[in-house]
A and B are shown apart, each in its own frame.
Chain A
Amino acid sequence: MKKLLTAASLLALTTLPSLAEPLKIGVITTLSGPAGYLGEQVRDGLQLAIDQEGGKLGGVDVELVVEDDGLKPGNGLQIADKFLNEEGIKLITGIIFSNVAGATVPEVVENDAIYISPNAAPSSLAGAGCNKNYFVVSWQNDSLHEATGAAAKALGYKKVVALAPNYQAGKDAIAGFKREFGGDVTEIYTQLEQTDFAPEMAQIRAAAPDAVFQFHPGGMGIAFLKQYVQAGLSKDVPMIVSEPSADGVILGAVGEAAVGLKATTHWNADFDNDANKAMVTAWAAKHPDKPLTTYGQQAYDVGLLIASALKKTGGIDDLDAFRAALKEADFASTRGDFKFGQNQHPVQDWYMVDIVAGSDGKPVWVTKEKLRDDVGDVYAAECKM
């Protein structure tokens, strides 16, 4: 009898999951090409949050459907259409780049589906273009660089050369930097697929600034940093960057030449809070040979946010209830303080970090000081919801 019961319960266990279809979360992200590691971080960070709860978020079984946008806005839009119309997915996240987000996000949020950004948050979607179905967990693009502007001002620099690729996020970067810096800024725009920065190095040398601010995410950042050091500029002109231009992967590829850089960030692996410690330990156990970057952390926080909402609603069939639950941001973020502003973008703290040689010789971030406390973004006031 006992055996029979055990067998029956085992059978029940194996059949149960197939009865309740897991909630599908669509992930549109960049997995191919030089920026592929960014999408990999987002995918792995989100998966880590799910694994921590044993395949669930907030007690609900979930499943990731991951597609590669190849850093092409057209692809992003196509995948979104497929998710929405063919697979019936109502919850989407994952986009790394602002140009892909600009093309894809409106399509998602105007079709009664929720989009939660783990990274890109262009200004065009933060102000008058905000939407009740659009949430950002990372930061608004400008605020990344406002922090760096504030840091440059705090460090006493007067004259800065600012470089960024000629696309929306690049323009947001320089605009954000200038807003808080207030000093003399020479702007140089590069191209999005550029690999050789020698002409820009010569321009920097000719301008002889107090410091250089640059925003080049992914592979571009590696090439830029290497060439900056090789040109001998790092000895004379200090460089200050926002977090995407000095992530763990970039530092790993550049090596000790990166030591001495200054950066600003909303999160660092050395933050002293329980959520962060749990994430850092779990990541190190699961991906011992990959550094955890802010991209991974942001996606992990997306997972925590979804979990906090699902815990209250049990599902997303009632979209209004789910949206309201998301808006409460009732979770312990790995970065510490976190809440949503009026435009459903984060209100959070910003820090300055030093890049120093770690115990194994590889450069690491060490948190130095808090720069800004509880700041949102300048576009929030224009958002009418």
Chain B
Amino acid sequence: MILFLEQLLNGLQYGVMLFLLAAGLTLIFGIMGVINLAHGSLYMIGAYAGTLAAMQTGSFWLGVPVALIAAALTGLVVEAVVIRRLYARDHLDQVLATFGLILFFNQSIILLFGRQPMFTQLPELFSGAVEVIPGLPYPSYRLFIIAVGLLVALGLYLIINRTRIGMLVRAGSTNREMVRALGVDIRLLYTLVFGLGALLAGLAGFLAGPVLAVQVGMGEQILLSTFVVVVIGGVGSIKGAFVAGISLGVIDTMLRAFLPGLLRQVMNGPEADALGVGISSMGIYLLMALVLLVRPKGLFAAGS
């Protein structure tokens, strides 16, 4: 039971990380119609900038604004210089250009910082473990990540549903042409949305730093799962990104944790391990296929 609870927390934590990345990606895709493969690069830039600031100043918390600003600024520049030229183009051109951006950013990081991963440290406040229930010590930093993710989700919900900007965002993801026809400065909206997406990616990257490795290519490792979240949740829907992110995080973790053990009860060891690991690594893709079969536009597709 304790093991199950612990794995549930692990799944939740993985889920909110996926959500932070997917939220930006789904807005950019839904509202601007752009497939942004370089989203992972913004995650990496947030991680590098924030970690560097945290190391130089000795304070983890100063890293947070630096990570956010660096990622958002990079996002704004990328939008103005590259993405803006792609709105009218087809998806293949967008994929090509943003893939080029991945190579560009990875190589820039290698030139600036080298190939060796950066040293990162937990903030003093969250370096220990908390006994969530008796007998289950859980790293407090992971609880902190969960809390931040849920807060961001709440904040986004309020912005999207309660503000004028949010109204435009919702309108934009439902019918772009109509918003433009009504005289809204869609270009400014695009820039804002892209900046916001970049900011969230930067936050996710910085938060991931002390748990994972801050290194070149770290964004691409999580990008594929993020796209799965976007597709399952429905393109353009923050709510979808949240629900899909959390469920994928939990399902993926549970499959990895328990499937090999369950299979071992009905077949012998090595075969069960091989099959279990195989199925659990396919798990989220199988789920995506199933969801698309029932709801081809995703769970909460905007405009459906």
Contacts and interface: CB of A to CB of B under 8 A. Distances in A.
A36 B106 CA distance: 11
- Among B6, B210, B212, B269, which residue has the most Cβ atoms of chain A within 10 A? B212
B213 A199 contact: no
B216 A199 contact: no
Interface stretch (B58-66, B111-119, B165-173): B111-119
A351 to B, nearest CB: 25
Contact of B7 (A166, A202, A220): A202
Contact of B217 (A33, A220, A226): A33
Interface stretch (A49-57, A187-195, A296-304, A352-360): A187-195
Contacts of B118: 253
Interface bin, chain A: 35 or more
A232 B137 contact: yes
Contacts of A230: 122, 129, 139, 141-142, 210-211
Nearest to A189: B277
A203 B64 CA distance: 32
B277 A219 contact: no
A31 B142 CA distance: 31
B213 A252 contact: no
Contacts of B10: 196, 198-199, 202
A120 interface: no
B215 interface: yes
A290 B116 CA distance: 8
B25 to A, nearest CB: 18
Contacts of A200: 256
Interface in A169-193: 187-189, 191, 193
A199 B257 contact: yes
A243 to B, nearest CB: 17
Interface in B103-126: 106, 110, 114-122
A34 B119 contact: no
Interface in B248-262: 253, 256-257, 260
B221 A34 contact: yes
Interface residues of B, number: 43
B119 A253 contact: yes
A226 B277 CA distance: 23
B215 A219 contact: yes
Contact of B115 (A37, A223, A255): A37
A198 B13 contact: yes
B277 A191 contact: yes
Contact of B273 (A34, A189, A223): A189
Nearest to A226: B211
B211 A33 contact: no
A40 B116 CA distance: 9
Given A202-B6, A231-B139, A252-B119, A196 B217 contact: no
Interface in A193-231: 193, 195-196, 198-200, 202-203, 205-206, 219-220, 222-223, 226-227, 230-231
Given A34-B215, A36-B115, A195-B221, A166 B210 contact: no
A37 B215 CA distance: 10
Nearest to A249: B116
Contacts of B79: none
A33 B220 contact: yes
A285 to B, nearest CB: 18
A191 B281 CA distance: 8
Nearest to A37: B115
B211 A37 contact: no
B14 A198 contact: yes
Contacts of A223: 211-213
Interface string A34-49: 1011001000000000
A202 B6 CA distance: 7
Contacts of A290: 114, 116
A253 B116 contact: yes
Contacts of B260: 188-189
B182 interface: no
A198 B253 contact: yes
A111 interface: no
Nearest to B14: A196
A32 interface: yes
B7 A199 contact: yes
Interface string A118-129: 000000000000
Interface string B198-212: 000000000000111
A232 B139 contact: yes
Nearest to B209: A226
Given A199-B7, A230-B139, A219 B116 contact: no
9 contacts: A34-B215, A34-B217, A37-B115, A195-B213, A195-B218, A195-B221, A219-B117, A223-B213, A232-B129
Lowest 4 CB-CB distances: which A-B pairs, in order? A198-B10, A222-B213, A33-B217, A36-B115
Interface of B: 3, 6-7, 10, 13-14, 106, 110, 114-122, 129, 137, 139, 141-142, 210-218, 220-222, 253, 256-257, 260, 269, 273-274, 277, 281
Given A37-B117, A219-B213, 13 more contacts: A37-B114, A195-B221, A198-B142, A198-B253, A202-B3, A219-B117, A219-B215, A222-B213, A223-B212, A226-B213, A227-B211, A232-B129, A255-B119
Interface of A: 31-34, 36-37, 40, 166, 187-189, 191, 193, 195-196, 198-200, 202-203, 205-206, 219-220, 222-223, 226-227, 230-232, 249, 252-255, 290
